[in-house]
Chains A and B, each alone.
Chain A
Amino acid sequence: MTYSNPPTVPRQSATFDDYTLSEIRRAAATGIYDIRGGGAKRKVPHFDDLLFLGASISRYPLEGYREACGTNVVLGTRFAKKPIELKIPITIAGMSFGSLSGPAKEALGRGATLAGTSTTTGDGGMTEEERGHSEILVYQYLPSRYGMNPRDLRRADAIEVVVGQGAKPGGGGMLLGQKISERVAAMRTLPEGIDQRSACRHPDWTGPDDLEIKIQELREITDWEKPIYVKVGGARPYYDTALAVKSGADVVVLDGMQGGTAATQEVFIEHVGLPTLACIRPAVAALQELGMHRKVQLVVSGGVRSGADVAKALALGADAVSIGTAALVAIGDNDPKWEAEYQKLGTTAGAYDDWHEGRDPAGISTQDPELMKRVDPVAAGRRLSNYLKVMTLEAQTIARACGKSHVHNLEPEDLCALTIEASAMAGVPLAGTDWIPGKTGL
């Protein structure tokens, strides 16, 4: 008797899924790790795993369209003679000229200014497009110091000392040859067309004691006028926040692992760093223990997409949030209207992340003069401003429903968590219980 094996449906491995197999083949064919832009694509506990409780008999709400709910935020009240006041608690994160086109930078400046908030320079220095169009501009002071000069330092409204980024805590910048146009090369004092691997450590200081002296120097150079931020990637938020405060920062910018980047190794983006949700409470705890909560402001970034995310970050204790990826989407990144061109690049709208190749159909992450014409800075700026205003209205809607007359009055008590993981990370009770793993009971 012959045995015939009854067929089953072909079964794919959960461990060796399609993406994993294609990555093994890609590595075998090229001999180099995958480089891409954007943030982590894996699912990690996030703001979606939290809910607001809203008002009830014991908490009364504010009238949606009548009673005021403030959204302004003042940054740099600790030491700076000229703190910054933003109308909304959402800022535009540092994104380098080089990784982004001139028109994209201009659009960010226009949109932020219309909405009453700030933009931030990035690795590669300050451009006229962004200084000219950003009423409030934060100047990043990065390990590479590309284009860093005292004139720009003095014409900035605030200074952000970048220690790390959530997408790659411990990694330097990366801008590959394809994007090093003549202008980008000149701003960075490097030959055209070479791969630029920006330093991962500052060249002239290491550790918190040095950082304190570095901040003192920056303050002396700018006559103690400008707020000084310290930006760290989500790694050890409790200690990093405490050390930033000790070093004399006015503002701590904390960027979780989902945070976007212009380009880095995929393995870095997906496997290093702490999720944004897990960063906030330890940082706030450090500030509270030092008596510095609301005195040193906390700006949180990494995967902020909506007014709900903004409200949740603020409720957990942040003073403001900062957005990168979402701002790029608002000005046209990954827009389905370019689908045919995304297909030609072997991808699809929504998944395009080869920003380092400089062939962005949307004209944003490119230095190609033809492609960048697709960004109309005025129209794109208007879109960004609309989006920022919507997020602010959404955050206000939630705050009013929780009975708060300012978005900063939101508090952890207004939240519950949908999963045990999110409950533990955010330090708010699991929905329907008073249980916070690691804190209460059990």
Chain B
Amino acid sequence: MPSFDLAKVPLRELNQALHNVAAGTNEIDFEVLNPRGAHAVAVGIDAPVTVDVRGNCGYYCAGMNAEATVTVHGSVGPGVAENMMSGTVVVKGDASQYAGATGHGGLLVIEGNASSRCGISMKGIDIVVKGNIGHMSAFMAQAGTLVVLGDAGDALGDSLYEAKLFVRGKVKSLGADCVKKKMKPKHLELLADLLERAGITDVKPEEFTRYGSARQLYNFNIDNADAY
């Protein structure tokens, strides 16, 4: 198993090795030691590899991931899995701001809490947070699903487009144009699938509340000016 000790080798070597993974190789399980808060760890991967990062990372860990499974055995700074395309990123600890920002696909699991702006501008990614999320989460979220087992902070889903939000705990407040919606069978199915993929077995889809866009701000209307 290729192992990179970031106390000894520069970050560049790690990312270059991850980008050089050839199709059909057997060397697809990577380990990263001593990340010590480094930024841009395991970014831009475009191959079905696994990466185990043993420690805490800084900004943009696993940014723009495609196909890889990255597990961080620690906490991450802002923008984990930002703009992820596919694959899976699991954070065993907590995540700072903008977790999963603008992600197009794949699954991001945060086992701890996520800070503010979790899922900002998400475009198709699925995000499951076992703990709580901070304010302004799912701001301008376009597509994908955000599942929160704990509570959500202020202004959840402000200016939301078509992303689906499910929160099990309390929501401090909803942002502009975000409303509570009825849970239909298809939503329960979606949730059950996501929980299973995130390895969560002790929580039932029925415990969640669904939120989505009221679609009132989709086209400018002068009578809505106060909401802008």
Contact = CB atoms under 8 A, between A and B. Distances in A.
Given A203-B120, A204-B102, A214 B60 contact: yes
B16 to A, nearest CB: 6
A204 B120 contact: yes
Nearest to A35: B220
A148 B46 contact: no
A203 B121 contact: yes
Nearest to B63: A217
A213 B59 contact: yes
Nearest to A145: B102
Contacts of B40: 213, 216-217, 220-221
Contact of A204 (B16, B98, B162, B219): B98
B44 A221 contact: yes
Given A204-B102, A217-B63, A221-B64, A150 B120 contact: no
A220 B43 contact: yes
Main secondary structure of the interface of A (DSSP, over half): loop
Nearest to A189: B123
A270 B79 CA distance: 36
B32 to A, nearest CB: 13
Interface size on A, as a range, is 20 to 34
A195 B228 CA distance: 13
A117 B54 CA distance: 46
A220 B58 contact: no
B211 interface: no
A150 B66 contact: yes
B204 interface: no
Interface residues of B, number: 42
Interface string A206-223: 000010011011001111
A82 to B, nearest CB: 15
A225 to B, nearest CB: 11
Given A148-B83, A216-B40, A204 B60 contact: yes
Contacts of B120: 203-204
B82 A204 contact: yes
A31 B19 contact: no
A144 interface: yes
A189 B142 contact: yes
B43 A221 contact: yes
Contact of B124 (A189, A191, A210, A216): A189
B117 A203 contact: yes
21 contacts: A145-B121, A149-B83, A149-B85, A150-B64, A151-B46, A191-B161, A191-B218, A195-B220, A203-B98, A203-B101, A203-B121, A203-B140, A204-B79, A213-B58, A213-B59, A220-B11, A220-B40, A221-B43, A221-B63, A221-B64, A224-B12
Pairs A-B, 9 closest by C-beta atoms = A221-B44, A31-B222, A194-B218, A204-B79, A204-B98, A145-B102, A150-B64, A217-B40, A204-B101
Given A149-B85, A176-B220, A213-B59, 10 more contacts: A32-B220, A145-B83, A145-B102, A177-B219, A193-B219, A203-B102, A203-B117, A217-B59, A220-B11, A220-B15
